[in-house]
Amino acid sequence: MSPGSSGAGPSPRLILLLLVLLAFGLRLYHLDYQSLWRDEMDAILFARQELGQLLALFVKPGHNGPLYYLILHGWVRLAGDSEFSVRFPSLVCGVLGVPLVYLVGRLWLGSTASLTAATLATTSPYLVWYGQEGKMYTLVLLLSLLSTYVYLMALERNR
């Protein structure tokens, strides 16, 4: 019986959907349990700046790239700056990383190994932790995975 045919167990898509839901739940649980820490407060201060002031900060040495703060700038205006709302964009990026881990893994390793990798990404304490921080870490992971996937797809199409 070939993988994915009836009787072979749950489909990889169903398993991936369940992993995404689990990733969401793990990152959502106690999202606002801890108080904001200094770097998260700095992120809020940056996000509250007027757009021109915010962009001017990033030409100075010692600042992270502006994309996360631009996203947070719009999000804080929409959802407020509570612990929950400031950390929610990181949660979303962390959850979106799970299917991208699967897609990248499937191109390199096949379906079974990529589901294992997605399971590890879902339950990794570090990735859950970063998915609960109001910082750019999960956005960097998401963009890295996305660029890797696009690159691998481009290589695949050129074969």
Q: Assign residue 145 a region: left if phi > 0, alpha if psi is -120 to 50, beta otherwise? A: alpha
pLDDT score, position 31: 95
Q: Do the Cβ atoms of 1 and 7 come closer than 8 Å?
A: yes
Round to the nearest angstrom and report the end-to-end CA distance of the chain: 29
pLDDT score, position 1: 44
pLDDT score, position 58: 79
Structure confidence by residue, pLDDT tens digits, 78-87: 999 999 999 9
Q: Assign residue 113 a region: left if phi > 0, alpha if psi is -120 to 50, beta otherwise? A: alpha
Q: pLDDT grade, residue 158 (50/70/90)?
A: confident
CB count within 10 Å of CB 104 equals: 21
From 29-38, 50-59, 98-107, 123-132, the region with the lowest mean pLDDT = 50-59
**pLDDT higher than threshold 60 for residue 43:** yes
**pLDDT higher than threshold 70 for residue 5:** no
pTM of the entire predicted model: 0.89
